[in-house]
Amino acid sequence: MAQMNMIQALNSAMDIMLGRDHSVVVLGEDVGFFGGVFRVTDGLQRKYGEHRVLDTPIAEGGIVAAAIGMGVNGLRPVAEIQFADYIYPAYDQIVSELARLRYRSAGEFFAPVTIRTPCGGGIRGGQTHSQSPEGVFAHVSGLKVVMPSNPYDAKGLLISAIEDDDPVIFFEPKRIYNGPFDGDPNKPAVPWSTHPKGDVPEGHYTVPIGKCEVVRAGADVTVVTYGTMVHVCEAAARAAGIDAEIVDVRTMVPLDVETLVTSVRKTGRCVIVHEATRFGGYGGELSATIQEECFWHLQAPILRVCGWDTPYPHAFEWEYFPGQARVATALRAVMEAA
């Protein structure tokens, strides 16, 4: 085991896969010589060469389209989109092509592409460096969608994604690259070495795609969340003195309904928390699914805590971000109901 932050864990996943499987290639803007603007691909080009770790033109549509073509020709591309906010020029290639290639060719063609992209706010990035667009990908049939909340899961899930023959959109919450973040920007930063999930095996292992994890067992209420918000929710429940069972979704698609349902049937209450905007967001899917499966066990309406339905505003970052106060208000509300 080694101490790793999320950047190192993700780097280790790619390093291992580049080493084990000669069909793996990494491509993206600034990922090669420079090692990525967040250093996630640092050293990989030096180690594996310019033909396997490729710097690309600034053309997200081109990056994904080329990755599809490479995938069809037997490679296993790991494409980086520098910020999730910049993924939309590639949206057509992802939605109309990558997601449907296997389906439309009746399984004769497929492209095992992993698209890594940093998401989420809390870094003073304004509307073009803060978005959480997992919902608009989860809505598309044929894409697996993943968002880890810690270094251990990040590495294990990324290896799973690369080994997966289906396309995976892999969101990396950049606010927690260097340490878990409980939602309070005024507290000193905490490194991953203080967190048990900062212990990461140096070798190959996988965390399965399609499995939630109960990160804290509790009796009062189930909090369904993922990414940065896992840590915010843990802190909020602790501060509010509520015995919350916190479930880290980890994989938006395919969704591990069983773990969610088991938890909510036990607690009878549910709060869903994500940083993305609320309206038409992924939380709505979670809420509907849980309601369908757990209606007769619910003692209160399911509540959602999300980012507001506005673009991510630079100056009001912390008023926008669904911090501990907003989460705690919802927790208290479901506890007081009925």
Partner 1 sequence: MRPSRLHIPKHHSRPGEKPDFSYLELSPAGTVARPDINTRVRDMNGLAFELVRVIDEQHRAVGPWNPHLDPSDLQVALRHMVLTRAFDERMQRMQRAGKISFYMRSLGEEAVAVAQGMALRPTDMLFPSYRQQGLYVVRGRPVLDLMCQLLSNTRDMCKGRQLPVMYHWRDGNIFSISGNLTTQFPQAVGWAMAAAIKGTDDIAASWIGEGSSAEADFHHAMLFASVYRAPAILNIVNNQWAISTFQGFAGGEHRTFAARGPGFGMAGLRVDGNDFLAVYAVTQWAAERARQGFGPTLIEHVTYRGAAHSTSDDPARYRPKDDYENWPLGDPIERLKGHLIGLGEWSEERHAELAREMDQRVQASWKEATTYGTLTEPPRLDPRLMFEDVFKEMPEHLKKQAAELRAELAGK
Question: Could you give the residue numbers annotated as active site?
Answer: 129
Interface with partner 1 (CB under 8 A), residue from 20, 22, 46, 50: 50
314 is a contact residue toward partner 1 (CB under 8 A): yes
- Binding window for partner 1 (CB under 8 A); candidates: 7-15, 86-94, 142-150, 160-168: 86-94
134 is a contact residue toward partner 1 (CB under 8 A): no
Question: Minimum CB separation from partner 1 for residue 143, in Å?
Answer: 21
Choice between 56 and 251, CB closer to partner 1: 56
CA 266 to chain centre: 26
34 is a contact residue toward partner 1 (CB under 8 A): yes
**Closest CA relative to residue 244, chosen from 267, 260, 277, 273:** 267
Strands (E), the chain: 2-3, 24-28, 53-55, 76-80, 114-119, 144-146, 168-173, 199-200, 213-216, 221-225, 244-248, 251-253, 270-277, 303-307
The separation between the first and the last C-alpha atoms of the chain, rounded to the nearest angstrom, is: 47
Question: Minimum CB separation from partner 1 for residue 247, in Å?
Answer: 24
Q: Is the dihedral of CA 78, 82, 83, 88 positive or negative?
A: negative
243 is a contact residue toward partner 1 (CB under 8 A): no
Interface with partner 1 (CB under 8 A), residue from 128, 193, 194, 299: 128
Question: Minimum CB separation from partner 1 for residue 153, in Å?
Answer: 27
219 is a contact residue toward partner 1 (CB under 8 A): no
Q: What is the 3-state secondary structure (H, E, C) of 73-98?
A: CCCEEEEECCCHHHCHHHHHHHHHHH
Interface with partner 1 (CB under 8 A), residue from 15, 85, 163, 234: 85
Pairing of strands 144-146, 251-253: antiparallel
- Binding window for partner 1 (CB under 8 A); candidates: 8-16, 168-176, 190-198, 323-331: 323-331
* Residues sharing a CB contact under 8 Å with residue 187, sequence separation 6 or more, in sequence order: none
325 is a contact residue toward partner 1 (CB under 8 A): yes
320 is a contact residue toward partner 1 (CB under 8 A): yes
Q: Which of residues 252-311 bind partner 1 (CB under 8 A)?
A: 278-279, 308-311
Pairing of strands 213-216, 244-248: antiparallel
How many residues bind to partner 1 according to rule CB under 8 A?
Answer: 41
Q: Which two tokens stand for residue 260?
A: 């969610």
Question: Minimum CB separation from partner 1 for residue 169, in Å?
Answer: 19
Question: Minimum CB separation from partner 1 for residue 313, in Å?
Answer: 5
Name the 3-class secondary structure at 266: helix
Name the site residues for partner 1 (rule: CB under 8 A).
29-30, 33-34, 37, 50-51, 54-62, 85-86, 88-89, 124-129, 278-279, 308-311, 313-316, 319-320, 325-326, 329
